[in-house]
Amino acid sequence: MGSAVSKILSRPEGFEDLGKEEICRLLLSEGADKELLFSCADRIREHHVGNEVHLRGIIEFSNHCIKNCFYCGLRRDNDAAERYRMTADEIADAAVAGAQAGLKTIVLQSGEDPFFTADMLARLIARLKDEHDVAITMSVGDRTREEYALMRDAGADRYLLKHETADPEAFSRLRPGTTLDGRIRHLVWLKELGFQVGSGCMIGLPGQTADTLADDILLLKRLDVEMAGFGPFIPHGDTPLASCTGGDVDMTLKTLAVARIMLPFTHFPATTALGTIDPEGRQRALKCGANVVMPNITPVRYKKLYEIYPNKICINEEGSIQCLPCITGIIRQSGRSVATDHGHSRKPVHGKARPQG
């Protein structure tokens, strides 16, 4: 007699329509059942998106933020944070170094910083797209639909906006002045505007249960995202959640694995946050469904200051020169290869897998 988990994982009809109860069972699996889940996710990853790992070089160009998220070290009320903004030229230089090192996607991320108007961002996007053969992902938080449209029209390909938690009460408590419905509305706008959309959530936020994590996965499924990131919540000493317990490696990996089997064509990063709480975290994620890694190519003098959470890995290495060889090594040691294309969505369009490119 197989376990309940092994029964779920041997469903002939596949896993795309798993219900909440089944998801919870998988999230709570331990021992041999958990290993079965991981190997199932690994197999599905290989079958649907192959052995290549996509690199997305991230530039953290401003740590100013008008929001006050309880979990984040960049929150407005954290007076201990030393703030910086990179100039357009500094951002372009970092992007060029990344492109010359072979990166095919550049992610521009910041706190919510109105200093960077949508016009400024659009000019920057157009400049990078004009000069380099790269995909551009924006990750600058909540903006108006018109501002998103300006970025899209300027050539941005993707947008990363995590839903953070699908529990509406927790969302409003942890992100004062905002609602889960509002965040979802932003994600829908981004889809309508033609962005490939990345979302995701933190694992181990206070009050989170397997039940709410199942809602997180179901929301990602409903939004049909092109990418989803799962990072453990890591408490930051200068925030209201300083004394909370953070997320754990196993639950992060299980969430990733369940999401992979339910969204087989979606891109999933082996997150830096997971690599921060476990030196083997990213390697383990690559074996549980992940197919993306995001090297940090922010200039060293700034990346130390982008302290969303403490003890972030790789903050003393110059990104394109030092992080890239290291990450390439991790990928090869995991028996995988580094993708050389843009890593656009592989989700089927009209029933067919998208061509690579």
The answer to whether 86 contacts ligand SAH (rule: CB under 6 A) is no
Say which entry of ligand SF4, ligand SAH, none residue 309 contacts (CB below 5 to 8 A, set by partner kind): ligand SAH
Closer to ligand SAH by Cβ: residue 105 or 334: 105
SS3 of the chain: the string is CCCHHHHHHCCCCCCCCCCHHHHHHHHCCCHHHHHHHHHHHHHHHHHHHCCEEEECEEEEEECCCCCCCCCCCCCCCCCCCCCCECCHHHHHHHHHHHHHCCCCEEEEEECCCCCCCHHHHHHHHHHHHHHCCCEEEEECCCCCHHHHHHHHHCCCCEEECCCECCCHHHHHHHCCCCCHHHHHHHHHHHHHCCCEEEEEEEECCCCCCHHHHHHHHHHHHHHCCCEEEEEECCCCCCCCCCCCCCCCHHHHHHHHHHHHHHCCCCECECCHHHHHHCCCHHHHHHCCCCCEECCECCCHHHHCCCCCCCCCCCCCCCHHHHHHHHHHHHHHHCCCEECCCCCCCCCCECCECCCCC
Of 15, 38, 45, 111, the one binding ligand SF4 by CB under 6 A:
111
Rounded Cα gap, residues 39 and 34, in angstroms: 9
Closer to ligand SF4 by Cβ: residue 276 or 345: 276
* Stretch 322-341 residues interacting with ligand SF4 (CB under 6 A): none
Rounded Cα gap, residues 288 and 310, in angstroms: 25
The answer to whether 173 contacts ligand SF4 (rule: CB under 6 A) is no
The residue range among 62-70, 183-191, 195-203, 289-297 that interacts with ligand SF4, by the rule CB under 6 A, is 62-70
Cα distances (angstroms) measured from residue 103 to each of 167, 240, 325, 331: 36, 37, 12, 15
Minimum CB separation of residue 239 from ligand SAH in Å reads: 7
Closer to ligand SAH by Cβ: residue 37 or 65: 65
Say which entry of ligand SAH, ligand SF4, none residue 45 contacts (CB below 5 to 8 A, set by partner kind): none
The answer to whether 251 contacts ligand SF4 (rule: CB under 6 A) is no
The answer to whether 75 contacts ligand SF4 (rule: CB under 6 A) is yes
Closer to ligand SAH by Cβ: residue 9 or 86: 86
The residue range among 89-97, 227-235, 249-257, 290-298 that interacts with ligand SAH, by the rule CB under 6 A, is 227-235
The residue range among 66-74, 85-93, 332-340, 349-357 that interacts with ligand SF4, by the rule CB under 6 A, is 66-74
The residue range among 29-37, 188-196, 231-239, 343-351 that interacts with ligand SAH, by the rule CB under 6 A, is 231-239
Of 138, 273, 285, 294, the one binding ligand SAH by CB under 6 A:
273
Of 9, 94, 140, 141, the one binding ligand SF4 by CB under 6 A:
141
Minimum CB separation of residue 308 from ligand SF4 in Å reads: 6
Minimum CB separation of residue 118 from ligand SAH in Å reads: 15
Closer to ligand SF4 by Cβ: residue 27 or 151: 151
The answer to whether 72 contacts ligand SF4 (rule: CB under 6 A) is yes
